[in-house]
Amino acid sequence: MLNRRQVLAGAAALAGTQFAMPAFAQNAPIRIGMLSVKSGALATGGRQMEDGFQLFLKERGNTIAGRPVEFIVADTGGQPALAKTRAQELVQRSNVHMIVGPVAAFEALAINDYLAEAQVPFICSSAAAEDLTQRKLNPWFVRTSSTSAQPCHPLGEYAAKELGYKKVITIADDFAFGQEQTAGFQRVFEANGGSIANKLWAPLNAADYGSYISQISGVDAVFAAFSGANGLRFLRQYNEYGLKGQIPVISAMTTVDEGVLHTMGDEALGIISAGWYSAGLDTPHNNSFVEQLRKVTGVDPGFYSVGAYSAGLALEAALKTVGGKAEDKQGLITALKKAEVVNDPRGPWKFDRYGNPVENIYIRKVERKGDRLVNTVIKTYDQVSQFWTYPPERFLAEPVYSRSNPTKI
């Protein structure tokens, strides 16, 4: 479609390359835009995300549903304002048919409204902000990871019922992701008769966890929700303070994510966590996925890699349904929401009607196998929804999880 401005631009013969080429021909490439982070603190996650999607493309020979794929990666620098500009660039300049990514929740929230307005299918492969699939729905949005609290709900039940913990202290990164993870755990743990003695919040860039660790005593366990390298630093210090072996640590998925687990040592052993994936899952799909990704990166895949790889799988399923017509955005997003992914390394999953996966949640325990640490699966909660066992309407009527919801103690 040409608007007045583009016609004028054409008249001025400034840039013919900017026009959207009518891509009806089947051999024209499907253009997939990825919002990644290549600089700054989030760059590790960004790289793992790219690795995951690149592996998917490599396995498919760069062809989905009979059409070649053009994969365009843009660097958001981990800044919401830049993320928005990058998204506009991918949509308006590169004319991508869909967007995969980004790494962080605030990036996804910054571009969500724009992509809804531009009507571009948005396959969110990692950002876990609850409201993206709850109270701020965008009809063009699906997510292939989980909500923040989705794995923490079952962990709350597991801790109370199977581990028999009565009293727990929580410690988490003081930002939305950590707060939502903690809230989900607290809600279900308390509903099963447990009690939270205290909730500790450490700043994202905390250099030292000593002052927090010294507040931990007189409880059955510690629930830890950290992201990135923070999990590593917390666990190391927890060990140095001599608390390991005295008060066990249970954790959210990202604290002992495979992306950082390979940098950990004995301090991580025995930690029980809940997540929607484990590199230790013994299924044919996962074994080949882990093997392939290890060849590329040398380490086990984690949260970001699997999320992006799954985004590829869901996309493939949807594109096959619409016969490769990526230009039919409405058809594509409809097909995406109906996609059931059975060949995923994490196990089978499908989208709920809010665009969030209903998937297995694994209770995992860090063990040493050979020369590396793995999250061995010790229990599986089958097909868990983002609402756990609560009715969605009731769940959505309440405010979103935060530092003070559910209330402290």
Partner 1 sequence: MKSAVLFFLTAIACILPFLLPGNFYLGIATQILVYGLFAVSVNILAGYGGMVSLGHAGFLGVAAYTYAVTSGTYGFSPWTAVGAALVIGTATAAVFGLIALRTSGLSFLMITLALGQIVWGVAFRYTDLTNGDNGISLGRGTVISSDPLTLYYVCLAVLACVMILLAAFIRSPLGAAVKGVRDQPRRMSTLGYNTWTIRYIAYIVSGFVATVSGILYVQIFQFISPHALSLTVSSEAVLMVIAGGIGTLFGPLFGAGVVVLLKNVASAYTDRWPTLLGCIFLFIIIAMPEGLLPGTRRILAGLASALRKGAPRTASLQQNPRAR
The binding site for partner 1 (CB under 8 A) comprises 5-6, 8-9, 12, 14-15, 18, 38-39, 74-75, 77, 79-82, 84-85, 88-89, 92-93, 105-106, 109-110, 112-114, 117, 129, 131, 136, 175-176, 179, 402-404
Cα–Cα distances (Å) from 253 to 62, 118, 258, 271, in that order, read: 31, 33, 9, 11
What's the closest the beta carbon of residue 85 comes to partner 1, in angstroms? 5
Nearer to partner 1, 5 or 295 (CB): 5
Nearer to partner 1, 35 or 261 (CB): 35
| Cα first-last separation, the chain | 58
Nearer to partner 1, 73 or 261 (CB): 73
Nearer to partner 1, 92 or 288 (CB): 92
What's the gap between Cα 251 and its chain centre? 16
Which residue from 215, 164, 173 is spatially nearest to 194, judged by alpha carbons? Answer: 164
What's the closest the beta carbon of residue 405 comes to partner 1, in angstroms? 9
Nearer to partner 1, 49 or 65 (CB): 49
What's the closest the beta carbon of residue 343 comes to partner 1, in angstroms? 32
For residues 168 and 242, what is the distance between their CA atoms, to the nearest angstrom?
18
Q: What count of other Cβ atoms lies within 10 Å of the Cβ of residue 242?
A: 9
Which residue from 145, 89, 148, 81 is spatially nearest to 120, judged by alpha carbons? Answer: 89
276 DSSP assignment: S
What's the closest the beta carbon of residue 308 comes to partner 1, in angstroms? 18
Nearer to partner 1, 82 or 163 (CB): 82
What's the closest the beta carbon of residue 331 comes to partner 1, in angstroms? 25
Which residue from 238, 259, 257 is spatially nearest to 249, judged by alpha carbons? Answer: 238
Which residue from 155, 377, 358 is spatially nearest to 286, judged by alpha carbons? Answer: 377
Nearer to partner 1, 3 or 27 (CB): 3
Nearer to partner 1, 114 or 395 (CB): 114
What's the closest the beta carbon of residue 9 comes to partner 1, in angstroms? 4
What's the closest the beta carbon of residue 174 comes to partner 1, in angstroms? 8
SS3 33: strand
Cα–Cα distances (Å) from 183 to 187, 386, 401, in that order, read: 6, 13, 6
What's the closest the beta carbon of residue 36 comes to partner 1, in angstroms? 10
CB 309 within 8 A of CB 52: yes
What's the closest the beta carbon of residue 127 comes to partner 1, in angstroms? 10
What's the gap between Cα 212 and its chain centre? 27
Cα–Cα distances (Å) from 166 to 156, 197, 217, 270, in that order, read: 11, 10, 14, 19
Nearer to partner 1, 176 or 374 (CB): 176
CB 255 within 8 A of CB 202: no
Which residue from 143, 282, 151, 168 is spatially nearest to 223, judged by alpha carbons? Answer: 168
